[in-house]
Amino acid sequence: MVLVYTEPALLAKYFFLFLPLEALLDFGPDIVASFAYRFAGIELGVMSVGGVRKRHYVKYVKSLFPRSFESGLEEIVVTGLYYPLFEEMVFRGLPYLLGFGVIGVALGTAVWVLMHPVWRLKLLPVNADTSVKLKMFAIDVFDYSIAGAWLSWLWLHGFGVLAVSYHIMHNLVVVAPEVFPEGFSWLMDKLKFKFPFGGSGEGEEIPKSPVYVHTVKRVRVEHGMPETPELCIAQDAYHYVKKESS
């Protein structure tokens, strides 16, 4: 068997032939995990303030920082292109190409799987119970294990180029709502679709006063703008702590 197929025509043919499997085994677990979050009571970016669940604080904190061309480009290039290529080559490509076979690819994929809940747990509010964190960890391991097994199968059958391509496609779809939030919200409204994360924040007023945002340095937002805005963008904005008391 060929170590890695590189013929453009062959790769294009199997790219489309394998698309249903990609949808089922890569995007499918993401959807299942989102429903599992709701069933387990896991709410990303939702905080209890005075006994009331708050989701709009996340949007409020993010709205303090106007999106720019460079931030959107960074999201696309780093998360959409660099991470998939780097991860595929390090965790599956190198073990496979160096001759470690199924065991090498399996071990690399196991590490890849565990690395995802490590950073995704930071999406939870900082005061989340340990039981909630353990549930999210288990759900994420299930989610990424299926995707990892699928991508590993592609490598082991000579379709490493497709593994990289599918991984890039998956990540680009995932970051699309961040890069194009207005268009994504419009599409969801047209489809009458709501994400099954709970905590919709209906009837909740967006706070007018400054808030605290948990970051590496616990930067405090002062008068609507933080001291170092770059620390409060993207994932860190989910770590809402509490509304500033008057």
- For 4-16, the pLDDT digits (tens) are 999 999 999 999 9
Q: How far apart are CA 235 and CA 3, in angstroms?
A: 38
State residue 61's pLDDT score. 44
State residue 193's pLDDT score. 58
State residue 120's pLDDT score. 86
Here the tokens at position 38 are 């709701």
- Over residues 75-89, the mean pLDDT reads 93
**Phi-psi group of 192: left, alpha or beta (phi > 0 → left; psi -120 to 50 → alpha; rest → beta):** left
Q: How far apart are CA 215 and CA 195, in angstroms?
A: 26
Pick 14 or 241 by higher pLDDT.
14
Other Cβ atoms closer than 10 A to 45:
23
Which range among 27-36, 139-148, 190-199 shows the weakest confidence by mean pLDDT?
190-199
Determine the distance from the C-alpha atom of residue 245 to the mean position of all C-alpha atoms in its chain, rounded to a whole number: 32
| Helical H segments across 122-243, by residue range | 130-156, 160-179, 181-191
Q: What is the pTM of this model?
A: 0.73
**Phi-psi group of 169: left, alpha or beta (phi > 0 → left; psi -120 to 50 → alpha; rest → beta):** alpha
Other Cβ atoms closer than 10 A to 240:
25
Type of residue numbered 6: T
* pLDDT of 52 higher than 80: no
State residue 72's pLDDT score. 77
99-127 confidence digits (pLDDT tens): 999 999 999 999 999 999 998 887 776 66
Q: How far apart are CA 61 and CA 206, in angstroms?
A: 10
* pLDDT of 170 higher than 90: yes
Pick 148 or 184 by higher pLDDT.
148
Here the tokens at position 208 are 């007018």
Phi, psi dihedrals of residue 217, rounded to the nearest 5°? -110, 15
* pLDDT of 160 higher than 90: yes
Max alpha carbon distance in the chain (Å)? 69
State residue 189's pLDDT score. 67
Here the tokens at position 94 are 């190198």
172-203 confidence digits (pLDDT tens): 998 887 777 666 666 666 666 555 444 444 44
State residue 130's pLDDT score. 86
- Over residues 203-224, the mean pLDDT reads 42
* pLDDT of 144 higher than 70: yes
Other Cβ atoms closer than 10 A to 187:
13
